[in-house]
């Protein structure tokens, strides 16, 4: 059983909406061992695939689904977005968007920021999204690109949940990388991301980016590097697992 750091429901806000379940995981629960102990959900890190499959099944169960309903991505630290209508593995994208019921969109990370969105569309089905954002994603603008994609499909009243990520104090980085963040993002985002002298706080930058779009997210989990008991961190361990976020539109509207 995968144990969530937090879980909840995006409640309907318009006549055509359906609720959407979401969950944020760390390394608690699960079936993996050693460096991947215990709830690793990534297949590409060297973990036993049977354990990963069991953990993905546990992840899906957090939102009332099973493994075959998951939509996973193979991110490339860019700003490409996949609009999907079915489960599967989607390559070369850092965000997934869907209006389909019964599909669990997943974003993973082990220092990068995983986040999910829910957008109401009035009389139409709502939209959900899962996003992976590291420092390169911050520079590329994947978060704002996803919000614009959601709004381009008619979404409003967008809600968000942001998962755990490494803090700026633990993510020291060379000056050239910090300069890229400064040059490629708006002032409010760069100030938030570069608030420590030598680091990049990607999550703080993402939260500032959301604020500019009028979105106040729920933030779950602390710094990945500082919480070895609960969270995976690539910067801390190199060989390690991945935690993540998941979101899915449910089949039926909640009763009032």
Q: What is the pLDDT of residue 252?
A: 52
* Percent of the chain clearing pLDDT 90 (strictly above): 94
Q: Residue 123: pLDDT band by 50, 70, 90 thresholds?
A: confident
Q: Token pair for residue 121?
A: 């569309």
Q: Which CATH class for the 2-249 domain?
A: alpha beta
Average pLDDT in the 78-83 region? 97
Query: In the predicted model, is pLDDT for residue 256 greater than 50?
Result: no
Number of other CB atoms surrounding residue 196 within 10 Å: 17
Q: What is the mean pLDDT of the chain?
A: 96
pLDDT tens digits, 193-236:
999 999 999 999 999 999 999 999 999 999 999 999 999 999 99
**Beta-carbon contacts of residue 50 (< 8 Å; ≥ 6 apart):** none
Between residues 103 and 250, which one has the greater pLDDT? 103
* Inter-CA distances, 66 with 70, 78, 95, 195, Å: 8, 29, 21, 41
- 19-31 tens-digit pLDDT: 999 999 999 999 9
pLDDT band at 14 (very low <50, low <70, confident <90, very high): confident
pLDDT of residue 148: 98
Residue burial 108-146, b: 16+ Cβ < 10 Å; e: rest: bbbbbbbbbbbbbbeeeebbbbbbbbbbbbbbbbbbbbb
Q: What percent of the chain has pLDDT over 70?
A: 98
């Amino acid at each position: 059983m995968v144990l969530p750091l937090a879980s909840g429901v995006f409640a309907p806000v318009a006549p055509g909406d359906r609720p959407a379940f979401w969950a944020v995981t760390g390394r608690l629960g699960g079936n993996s061992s050693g460096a991947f102990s215990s709830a690793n959900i990534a297949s590409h890190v060297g973990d036993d695939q049977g354990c990963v499959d069991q953990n993905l099944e546990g992840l899906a169960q957090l939102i009332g689904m099973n493994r075959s309903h998951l939509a996973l991505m193979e991110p490339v630290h860019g700003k490409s977005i996949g609009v999907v209508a079915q489960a599967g593995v989607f390559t070369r994208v850092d965000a997934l968007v869907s209006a389909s019921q019964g599909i669990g969109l997943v974003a993973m990370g082990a220092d990068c920021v995983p986040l999910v969105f829910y957008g109401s569309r009035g009389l139409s089905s709502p939209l959900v999204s899962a996003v992976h954002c590291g420092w390169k994603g911050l520079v590329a603008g994947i978060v704002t690109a996803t919000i614009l994609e959601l709004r381009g499909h008619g979404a409003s009243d967008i809600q968000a949940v942001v998962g755990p990520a490494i803090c700026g104090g633990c993510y020291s980085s060379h000056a050239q990388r910090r300069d890229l963040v400064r040059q490629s993002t708006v002032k409010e985002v760069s100030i938030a991301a570069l608030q420590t002298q030598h680091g990049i706080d990607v999550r703080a930058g993402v939260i500032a980016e959301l604020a500019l779009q009028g979105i106040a997210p729920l933030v779950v989990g602390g710094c990945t590097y500082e919480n070895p008991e609960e969270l995976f961190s690539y910067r801390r361990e190199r060989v390690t697992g991945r935690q993540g976020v998941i979101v899915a539109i449910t089949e039926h509207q909640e009763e009032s």
